[in-house]
């Protein structure tokens, strides 16, 4: 997978993709990540990437010209219908669809190339959304100073789901949200620590009992902390 990040602060990403699973995936050739400075695509001498909003109001709005130019440079077109198969252009903004694990899985499965646009200020000129963007995504119901932290979240969540990125085919299957529940509790050595013991079921080697216990504890934790995950579209448990 090829991931291109468009930002006005490329230095933000200086080393953030050089650790852990993302680093291993890059070294293995599973993913290639490039960061591009939007200012380089601004045509005016001052390299302006934002301007005052029409209609008045506070703040600044990111201009369309540099973003269009950047996407055209990377894809050869600014026409969504002409994008190469498997291409996604993602705008990160508070107005986007909430990012869920199922959406991350779909993106990881269906995407060959992704361009991630990091919004800033009061937002991005809506013509970018109307013409270039295939997916508008929010990572939560809160506002960040810009889309850069959200880009790291999206890339990390996606890369770990790419084939062979984790080194185990079942690792991601057992994550929280992958099966609609939070993950079960986990324990490691020592079996006794400050008077606290690891549940006996995890020590007896009976895999059927262990899986049953893990399922029950995942359901228990989900009921306690995220009951909304257990409620279907019809509002029933």
The catalytically annotated residue of 175, 185, 214, 226 is 175
* Cα–Cα distances in angstroms (integers) from residue 12 to residues 9, 16, 37, 149, in the given order: 6, 8, 11, 9
Whether 160 sits among the annotated catalytic residues: the reply is yes
Helix (H, G, I), strand (E, B) or coil at 126: helix
The catalytically annotated residue of 66, 113, 135, 160 is 160
The catalytically annotated residue of 65, 72, 122, 220 is 122
- Tokens representing 231? 């409620």
Nearest in space to 225 (alpha carbons), one of 166, 168, 179, 183:
183
Helix (H, G, I), strand (E, B) or coil at 18: coil
* Cα–Cα distances in angstroms (integers) from residue 184 to residues 126, 172, 200, 213, in the given order: 42, 14, 15, 9
62: which strand partners? 50, 124
Whether 4 sits among the annotated catalytic residues: the reply is no
Whether 39 sits among the annotated catalytic residues: the reply is no
* Peptide bond connecting 190 to the previous residue in cis, omega within 30 degrees of 0: yes
Whether 122 sits among the annotated catalytic residues: the reply is yes
The catalytically annotated residue of 65, 72, 80, 94 is 94
For the annotated catalytic residues, the residue numbers are 94, 122, 160, 175
């Amino acid at each position: 997978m090829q991931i291109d990040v468009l930002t006005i602060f490329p230095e933000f990403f200086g080393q953030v993709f050089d650790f852990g699973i993302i680093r291993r995936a890059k070294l293995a050739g599973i993913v290639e990540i490039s960061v591009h400075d939007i200012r380089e695509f601004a045509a005016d001498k001052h390299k302006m990437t934002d301007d005052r909003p029409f209609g008045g109001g506070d703040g600044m709005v990111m201009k369309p010209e540099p973003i269009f130019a950047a996407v055209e440079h990377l894809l050869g077109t600014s026409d969504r219908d002409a994008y190469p198969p498997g291409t996604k252009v993602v705008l990160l903004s508070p107005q986007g669809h909430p990012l869920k694990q199922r959406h991350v899985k779909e993106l990881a499965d269906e995407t060959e190339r992704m361009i991630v646009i990091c919004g800033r200020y009061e937002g991005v000129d809506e013509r970018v959304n109307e013409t270039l963007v295939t997916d508008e995504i929010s990572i939560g119901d809160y506002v960040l100073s810009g889309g850069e932290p959200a880009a790291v979240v999206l890339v990390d969540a996606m890369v770990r789901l790419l084939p062979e990125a984790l080194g185990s085919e079942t690792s991601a299957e057992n994550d929280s949200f992958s099966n609609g529940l939070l993950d079960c509790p986990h324990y490691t050595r020592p079996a006794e620590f400050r008077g606290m013991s690891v549940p006996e079921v995890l020590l007896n080697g009976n895999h059927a009992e262990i899986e049953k216990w893990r399922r029950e504890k995942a359901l228990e934790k989900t009921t306690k902390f995220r009951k909304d995950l257990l409620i279907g579209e019809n509002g029933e448990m």
